[in-house]
Amino acid sequence: MSSPAGPSWPTVLGRLAAGLDLDSDSAAWAVAQVMSGEAAPAQVGAFLLGLQAKGPTAHEVAAAAAVMRDAALPISVPGVLLDVVGTGGDGSGSVNFSTMAAVVAVACGATVVKHGNRAASSKAGTADVLEELGVVIDLGPDAIASCAREAGLAFAFAQVLHPAMKHAAQIRRELGVPTIFNTLGPLTNPARPTAGLIGCASERSAPLMAQVFADRGDRVFVVRGETGWDEISPYGVTQVWDTTRGGVIEERLYAADLGMGGIAEGALVGGDPVTNAEVCRAAFGMPREHPDLALPSDIDAVRAVVSANAAAALAANAAAHGADTSAPLLDRIKAHLGDTRAAIESGAAGGILRRWIDTSRALARG
């Protein structure tokens, strides 16, 4: 008796077109085909849109993430690492909160390897803004590890560390909508951090991501604002999927409880990389590169949101270090809020950013 045929594009795409889930092997095969360049552009586009329309399952996401992470160039940094990253695709047009929150978390004692990319569906992705700030974004794995050890944080540029992703990059840009790769980004950091504040714009994808993190034993908060923000939102309620206590526990946070009450609509809007970099400098009290550029954001409001998100990141980081997690989630986050505010107000966060810029440049020079 012949053995069953393995996965193929007709079977994979046929199941997706019918709204049927893929098994783990088929999901892993399809992602491997995309990353190897063996899939035709039409197959890649059909796979990404079909999976997005159906809605990925936790086992599909886990299988795809495993393929991507195993194929990445590895980064080795000892100790507990934190990532502060969002999926993007929230359509808010806001400034780069996760980037600023990562800097503040380092100013408060964490070690961060931040995974990220250029903008796919927004004006300014993490890589775009860091490059504008002066950080060298295309370091290799060894230099990234050195940067994390010397500066306390480093940037893991997906285009460098996931070279096989080049086969999907142009198609993702042309599609212009979030795909499974937005979900996979935070799950495939080559440094393999065990702590994180992970923003997810998709209400459907957030619990799936949390389940994958929980199954790995990672201590993270996956967060989504009720208006779709991929961070702890200043507007209304933020849903939290907490894996810091084992399994996935759903929680809710309210903006006012974290010092973000009363922020006006439009106060956090960003723009292109130049604008968002200038907002970051202003928020951290650093000299402006373009002092005549009018900033669209309320800087005090930006600082409030950055402080709240950085405090949550520190709570996840503490859990990964073995801290007691029995207190209510809000109390665990608020315990770090004074430190994050002080890091911004004192100039410590700006000092960390300056050190990051200088260290990355020195490593790039060799």
- pLDDT tens track for 137-164: 999 999 999 999 999 999 999 889 999 8
Q: How confident is the model at residue 88 (pLDDT cuts 50, 70, 90)?
A: confident
In a domain, 17, yes or no: yes
pLDDT bucket at 119, cuts 50 / 70 / 90: low
In terms of Cβ atoms closer than 10 Å to its own Cβ (0-12, 13-18, 19+), residue 322 is exposed
When pLDDT is cut at 50, 70 and 90, the band that residue 3 belongs to is very low
- 209 shares its domain with 91: yes
Left if phi > 0, otherwise alpha if psi is -120 to 50, otherwise beta: which for 311?
A: alpha
**In the chain, % of residues over pLDDT 70:** 96
Mean pLDDT of the residues in the chain: 93
pLDDT-derived band at 286, boundaries 50, 70, 90: very high
**Total-model pTM:** 0.92
As a whole number, mean pLDDT of residues 20-36 equals 95
Whether the predicted pLDDT of 1 surpasses 80: no
Domain CATH number, residue 29: 1.20.970.10
Look up the domain containing 49 and give its range.
9-55
Task: Tell me whether residue 75 is in a domain.
Answer: no
- Pair 270, 352 in one domain: yes
* Mean pLDDT on 102-118: 95
Q: pLDDT tens digit string along 330-354?
A: 999 999 999 999 999 999 999 999 9
Same domain assignment for residues 295 and 200: yes
Virtual torsion, Cα 109, 115, 118, 122, nearest 10 deg:
-80
Whether residues 47 and 98 fall in one domain: no
User: Within this chain, do residues 171 and 268 fall inside the same structural domain, yes or no?
Assistant: yes
Residues 46 and 88 in one domain: no
Q: Is residue 280, in this structure, part of any structural domain at all?
A: yes
Quick one: 141 and 46 in the same domain? Answer: no
Q: 336 and 218, same structural domain?
A: yes
- Domains in the chain, number: 2
Q: Establish if 68 belongs to a structural domain.
A: no
- Chain-centre distance of CA 165, in angstroms? 17
Residue with tokens 């996840």: 316
Given CA atoms 110, 111, 114, 115 in this order, what sign does their dihedral have? Answer: negative
Distance CA 303, CA 287 (A): 16
- Residue scoring higher pLDDT (169 or 250): 250
Residue type for 296, please? P
